[in-house]
Structure 1
Amino acid sequence: MLNMQELLSLVKGRVAIGEEMREHTSFRIGGPADFFIEPMDRQDFIRAVGFFTSRRIPFVILGRGSNILVHDEGIRGGVIMTGTALQQFSIKKQQVEADAGVSVSLLAEKTFSSSLGGIELLQGIPGTVGGAVRMNAGAWGQEIFQVLSWVEVLRGGRTSVLYPDELEYGYRQGGFGSEIVLRAGFRLKRLSEREHAERSRRVQEIRLQRARTQPLSFPNAGSVFKNPERSIGGESLSAGALIDRCGLKGYSCGGALVSELHGNFIVNTGSASAADVMKLVEVIRNRVAERFGVVLELEIGLLGFDGVICR
């Protein structure tokens, strides 16, 4: 049984009961969490994890809530945020180290401004280093595991370091189990002036393309489905292209809408519930399966839904 006074005396950061998760997700959807914690620093974070683990109370780790959907009834157990506690990063020559709560976009921007290449195309991705490592996040041909050197994790109350060859990673999959990512190291490439100028142009092109093709003005969780790993009718089609060919752009369920700009984005038009989103997910999956024989796999993580673990 949870002793609230004991939790308050142990954790130095913010502790809240019944915090509405819609306030902490980019979808702006989600009911209350039983216990919501924003630890003050690394040790505070580890203490919070230990508190729930030792009492066998379920909990999830959340970064910026950018790639998830939270159930309308919320989350039973605890939610521990990384944003305040795990915010340190360093750049030394070509070696980069970053805590799990560091913004991927910020890290990509800072390293590129230091003439380092390898993650510069990830500028604009809204997630954190911890989430990006767990799911091997990527965009425009760059993936986190292409430059990952090591990952510090918390497991069973102890910290340890894992290396890429110890993880069965793949497309949008880091190969982690119950380990909690605390910090990661990356080895980037030193760019020449010419390479930096060329990639600067590419970064600008991507920014313009993202503004044209992604619904940045509406709450969303990024790409909803993973791209199929096999070709379809001889073509290598993205999830967005399949959804578009099914004529689903603009299709809605309640307040959830398939974006007119990008078929693989579901947006919250202002009143969407998690139930609305899941109904729309089912419609999309059924239509794509009927027409192309492909069952689309979710890229977003689901929280508060039975049997699904947070990304």
Structure 2
Amino acid sequence: QMRFQGSAFYSMVGIASGAVINIGLDPLFIFVFDMGVAGAALATIISQFISFCLLIAGTFRGGNLRLNLRNFSPSLKYYKNIVKGGTPSLCRQGLGSFATICLNLMAGPYGDAAIAAMSIVTRISQFAASIVIGFGQGFQPVCGFNYGAKLFKRVKEGFWFCVKLSSVILLVAAIAGWIFSEQLITFFLHTDPLVIEYGSLALRLQCLTFPLVGWITISNMMLQTIGKTVKASLLAMSRQFLFFVPAILTLPGMFDMLGVQLSQPVADVFSFILAVPLSLSVIREMTELEKQEEHYKMVQPSKD
């Protein structure tokens, strides 16, 4: 909400502060106070509560909309819009958890080293993908405001800018990940050579499709923001469910551990193939709407 009102910096401070505090409290509670898992849980609770307080306080800053229960007026129309806008995010995040469960189950027969290796690769991939998500979240307010104002040219320009820049960044990340794959896995767990072997190959295979994730993510966020709920939800489900789950359930039976390592790259390729026509169809639609708007302005009589 704050990001869409232009308070992106304070929103970032509110969210990042909780993460930083969590990083500081985890070793304190786990090791110094010897609380173990309970300490990690308590650190998370405290850090989340601090973030909550900072963000709530931020609604009273500047020109942000202030939260007030007196302004609460239930409306089915608003709930429908919220559900339409949130369904793609629900599909993307909820099915991501399901995909992780499937990954762990299929990697399990190859031992703890396989599970550990794939978990590390997933974390590294998510770190790189978070850059694209940041671009997408910055693009969403621009996309929504300009689409609503029928300034379709700006929406298209913003889309192509984000796709190009995120793809270049991911290409650089892919090259770095390919070159330093063993060092990256070793950084997380250097005591098990089998983890390094499994993880370095899986990371290199994932790097082959890294640059495709930019188009997939930005397309998904554009479709979600302009109200294309069905297309956005379909694309949100594709990478972690529609294509990944069949891949992770079938490929290990044909290629053993290599099938586990190939599952996410294969899902990325098919998700990209789906994302291209979905996003291009909407861009063509906006081009037609843009022409209609220009024609309408031309035929309108002058106020003079």
TM-score normalised over the length of structure 1: 0.24
Greater C-alpha radius of gyration: 2
TM-score, normalized by length of structure 2? Answer: 0.24
Structure with the higher helix share, 1 or 2: 2
